Amino acid sequence: PNMTQLQRASEIVSSSVRLWETIKANRLPDETARGNVQCMTSYWRVFGTCRIPKPGRDKLFTCVSSKHILVISNNHMYKLNVYDSEGLPSSPVSLEKALDEIHQHSLRPHYIQDGAQEGGVGLWTCENRDSWSKIRSKLQTDNESRLAIVDSAIMVVCLDDAIPSTPDALSQTMLHGEDGQNRWFDKLQLIVCGDGSAAFNMEHAPHDGHTLLMCTTYIYEDILGKKQIPGSAPKSTLIEDLGYSHLQWNLNEELLESIGQAKRNMRAFIEETETSVLNFSHFGADVIKKLKISPDAFVQMAYQLAYFRITGTVQSTYESCNMKGFYHGRTETIRTVSMESKLMCETFFMSASPPSLKDSLLRNAAKRHIQTGSDAKSGR
């Protein structure tokens, strides 16, 4: 449904917190794949989790007892309590009111050197991990309590003024934003634009995309009223003031300069990153299924043919499959290229190749892809 920026943010936060309560209470229905129960441990790392930079190797931290989220608006950070006086997830109306107050506060002149004018302390999370680790060690000296608030937050909400006018611009906003500003990439972020468009930006270390996709589906259906969050109480209608506080970072000149450097580094990285969105509307999975071909295999073979047509070569290609059928399973690689797909590419564009041969080659390559994917998912 059409919503304002703050309505969208408050609705998603409300449903997210209720989902987090369901996860913590072990009331989320078991995920299954072809009748087999899947591992559910990754859901415990979606919310309340932070990737903390350390020399050589980062560590993951999850807090299951926190009652707040982190809100970033105009590069200023705020701790916002998201539970009401009865200890239940706050109502969307209460959240919307608090988010409006935070946004208005972030627009006022601030006369402290908290890094907001330089682009915000979140820019450090864009940096090389070892560099960020060194910066964080220095930051912690005078900001330990503030870092604890960030690390333990259930999630991050980024209120952006941007109103992307094209799918490409929207994708770029959700991927990296303006020079990485108004973000904290070490945690799950909900980014909401000025026109109400929204998306999650996930830190990949704690979990994989399939887990967040399932969470997003629960949240979306809950907002639409199609299906309530499993095992959760109905949304609260209690309207009350929620406590929030402005995180006023204590930064010296060295740290302020490092924010500027991080901003320059991120700008250079963005300039090397091309983002383009293709909305393919000619046909979809239903049409492919009628041809008795796996939609996934069909699309993967289309990638192979397109790349061969452009370059005249076949290159090793990666597709991931989730491994939740195993305890603590993450992902495995499906090697898309096979002798069958190679033969298909080399023959497909020959002028002498009749449609019947192309059809046969495509089906053989798709069949091989399905077998390779099944082997990968089974750990073979």
Residues with catalytic function? 204
252 CB neighbour count, 10 Å cutoff: 13
Which residues, other chains included, contact 375 with Cβ-Cβ below 8 Å and sequence gap of 6+? Answer: none
Q: Of the candidates 73, 109, 112, which has an alpha carbon nearest to the alpha carbon of residue 251?
A: 112
Show the CA angle centred on residue 90, arms to residues 10 and 102, nearest 5°: 50
The 3-state DSSP class for residue 52 equals strand
Residue ranges of the alpha helices (H) in 272-316? 285-290, 295-311
Query: Would you state the torsion angle of the CA atoms of residues 259, 114, 11, 190, taken in this order, to the nearest 10 degrees?
Result: 10
Which residues, other chains included, contact 103 with Cβ-Cβ below 8 Å and sequence gap of 6+? Answer: 6, 73, 159
Q: Sign of dihedral through CA atoms 370, 349, 310, 277?
A: negative
70 close to 77: Cβ distance less than 8 angstroms? yes
What's the full length of the chain, in residues? 380
183 close to 259: Cβ distance less than 8 angstroms? no
Query: What's the distance, Cα to Cα, between the start and end of the chain in Å?
Result: 45
